[in-house]
Amino acid sequence: MIDQPHLDEAALAELRDVMEGDFGMLVDTFLADSRARLRHLHQLLEQKDSDQLAKTAHSFKGSCINMGATHLSKLCAQLERAGKAADLSAAARLLDGVEAEFAEVASCFEQL
């Protein structure tokens, strides 16, 4: 298995350029929103709401792409597909992976 970087350095450099002094605020907002999305995804899984789970995973995927968290975005895409297929057991496993990768991404952002 090949380790994938948690953050895309080129995407981060571009974000820093564009956001200038607001980059830290952008990161803080992403982290807070992501934690809220993870809580919501767990609730949707408990409620067996695969449609909303897919939509929330899709939204999370987009945020991850924008922030350069490419591996996390790929995991969110897999979670989205599981939700669309109403495969809740796969979604539960994938959500664990999303959560673990988010912890790594958050740690990387907090070290910037």
Written as six digits, the tokens of 17 are 């350029």
Cβ–Cβ under 8 Å, residues 108 and 70 = no
pLDDT of residue 112: 85
Question: What pLDDT, in 10s, does the model give residues 4-36?
Answer: 789 999 999 999 999 999 999 999 999 999 999
2 pLDDT exceeds 60? no
Question: What pLDDT, in 10s, does the model give residues 37-92?
Answer: 999 999 999 999 999 999 999 999 999 999 999 999 999 999 999 999 999 999 99
pTM of the complete model:
0.94
Can you identify the CATH homologous superfamily of domain 26-110? HPT domain (1.20.120.160)
- DSSP string for 62-83: HHHHHTT-HHHHHHHHHHHHHH
For residue 3, what is the DSSP state?
A: -
Domain boundaries in the chain?
A: 26-110
> In 3-state terms, what secondary structure has residue 16?
helix
